[in-house]
Amino acid sequence: MTAANYPFVVQNLVLKDFKIRYRNMSLGVLWSLLNPFIMMAVLVFVFTNVFPDQTVKGFPLFILCGLIPFNFFTLAWSSGMVCVADNASFVKRIPLPRALLPVSNVLANCIHMLIQIAILLSFTLVLGYPITRYWLFLPLVWALEVVFVMGLVLATCAIDVYVRDLRYIVDSVIRVLFWAVPIFYSIDRVPARFRGWYEFNPITALTVSLRQILMDATAPDTRLLWKLSLSALLMFTLGWAIFQHLQRRFYERL
């Protein structure tokens, strides 16, 4: 098989994932719309009635700016990291580059993500926030997030073949991240001595950038963008290297 055919393979795998996910749902794609809104409603209730937070204006959109990047991250990571171990027949029977599996898995989640971004933007407009030229930053920050997730998925799906309980560790990490990312609180409330480290977390960087672009109608912090680019590129390089190194023994390990 020639490399020219790989895009067609990836397209087929992405489409397959998408069809399988939505074919047997009575509401179809609607489920993926409902999920962030349910979570948003809960958080809005808690933080306007139980622990009122007066420092933030426009709380529903504020939360959605954190929830949607976080949802994409957790969904892509947890489904991507098992894609090699759970597709043993692909690895053992089909002579294709193994990287096509994690790559198409992340891309399939990107379709899902695009739907959620569309919701986020419609919600922004419905609430009366204007479209500004800073919206042009949106593709950049999202693309960096995807690059980061791709690296993370490449690394962990390869390690998962060798260490099968990695998925439970990832589960716990995701739970911690929900609190460690400023989803329902503002980054300004994080003590200054932690904040520098917070910003290296790409989900935090994306969340903060989204709030600046959509709610404050400003450009995202340059410092933040640099940190986001740095962690995305580092993670991708590392993930690619780990995957290439470990994939040579996938056959024996599965």
129 sits near another protein (criterion: CB under 8 A): no
Sorted by sequence, the CB contacts under 8 Å of residue 209 that are 6+ apart come out as 137, 141, 220, 221, 224, 225, 228
Phi-psi region of 217 (alpha: psi -120 to 50; beta: other; left: phi over 0): left
List, in order, residues 6 or more apart from 7 with CB less than 8 Å away.
none
Q: Does 133 bind another protein (CB under 8 A)?
A: no
Among 57, 133, 193, 248, interactor with another protein by CB under 8 A: 248
Pattern 4-33, another protein, x by CB under 8 A: xx--xx--xx--x--xx--xx---------
Show Cβ contacts of residue 212 under 8 Å, excluding neighbours closer than 6 positions: 134, 218, 219, 220, 221
Binding residues for another protein restricted to 150-179, rule: CB under 8 A: 162-166, 169
| Binds another protein by CB under 8 A, chosen from 26, 38, 95, 193 | 95
Among 30, 41, 94, 136, binds another protein (CB under 8 A): 94
* Residue 223 touches another protein, criterion: CB under 8 A: no
For another protein, the closer of residues 57 and 248 by Cβ is: 248
Q: Does 251 bind another protein (CB under 8 A)?
A: yes
> CA 199, CA 233: separation in Å to the nearest integer?
15
What is the nearest approach in angstroms of another protein to the Cβ of residue 89?
4
Other beta carbons within 10 Å of 117: 18
161 versus 232: smaller Cβ distance to another protein? 161
Is 130 a binder of another protein (CB under 8 A)? no
Options 62-70, 91-99, 134-142, 171-179: segment touching another protein (CB under 8 A): 91-99
| Distance set, CA 81 to CA 18, 27, 135, 235 (Å) | 17, 27, 31, 15
Q: Which two tokens stand for residue 43?
A: 């958080």
